[in-house]
Amino acid sequence: MPKIINYDNQKEIIAEAAWRIIKREGIGNASVRNIAKEAGISSGALQHYFSSQSQLLEFAMNMVVERVEGRFTLIGNEISSITLENAKKILWNLMPVNEEQELEMEVWLSLTVKAQHEPSLNKISKSTNESMYLIILTLLKQLEEAGLLKKGLELSMEAKRLHILLDGLSLHRMVSPDTMTNDVLHAVLNRHLTDLAEGLSD
């Protein structure tokens, strides 16, 4: 009896193999041949799931987004009310603070650079950045409605500032993990949110 293969699951296995190649050898070595070898299949078998390298990399990039969104959903289900601490928990999941999220961030950064010359990847990158901004803006609006932010803040600008801060912290973490530790990330994020808050201390 022939072995039944889960099509969607196999695509994820191949994308995860692409992630490992990108992390270990760089985006320049993420060829169909190398990814197929890493996934333990032939190049011909890989093309049964992805007709081109571009299609594979699009799927790999979207999978990063799906993993992050999955964590947001999980955290959202666990949070019963909006507080400053709960806001930190949500934002914490946007940064590479553990091995899993470091891998996602490394893949994301590599594909974002490649996206400058790949329209399909660039579309994913722009869409995701817009979504992250809207998540941050919504979070700040919820904090404001709960009376946890200073009066008179321009939330659209504050959302942009916070988005840039998270991106900067994430990049520094990837470049200098020995100095940009979780404690440092937490301290900077905590100080920024505290500066936005009203009547709250560090």
3-state secondary structure 132-190: HHHHHHHHHHHHHHCCCECCCCCHHHHHHHHHHHHHHHHHHHHHCCCCCCHHHHHHHHH
pLDDT for 2 beyond 50: no
Does the structural domain 60-196 have CATH classification 1.10.357.10?
yes
Q: What is the CATH number of domain 1-51?
A: 1.10.10.60
pLDDT for 135 beyond 80: yes
pLDDT at 1: 41
pTM for the predicted model, two decimal places: 0.86
In total, the chain counts a number of residues equal to: 202
Task: Answer left, alpha or beta for residue 151, where phi above 0 means left and psi between -120 and 50 means alpha.
Answer: beta
Tokens, residue 99: 């091995």
| Domain extent listing, the chain | 1-51, 60-196
pLDDT for 127 beyond 90: yes
The rounded percent of the chain whose pLDDT value lies above 90 is 82
- The reply to whether 60-196 shares the fold of 1-51 is no
Beta carbons within 8 Å of 110's beta carbon, 6+ residues apart: 22, 26, 27
pLDDT at 77: 79
Tokens, residue 1: 């009896």
pLDDT at 201: 44
Tokens, residue 177: 């993990």
pLDDT for 146 beyond 50: yes
Rg (CA), the chain: 19
Positive or negative, the CA dihedral 172, 177, 182, 183 is negative
The C-alpha atoms of residue 85 and residue 190 are separated, in whole angstroms, by 9
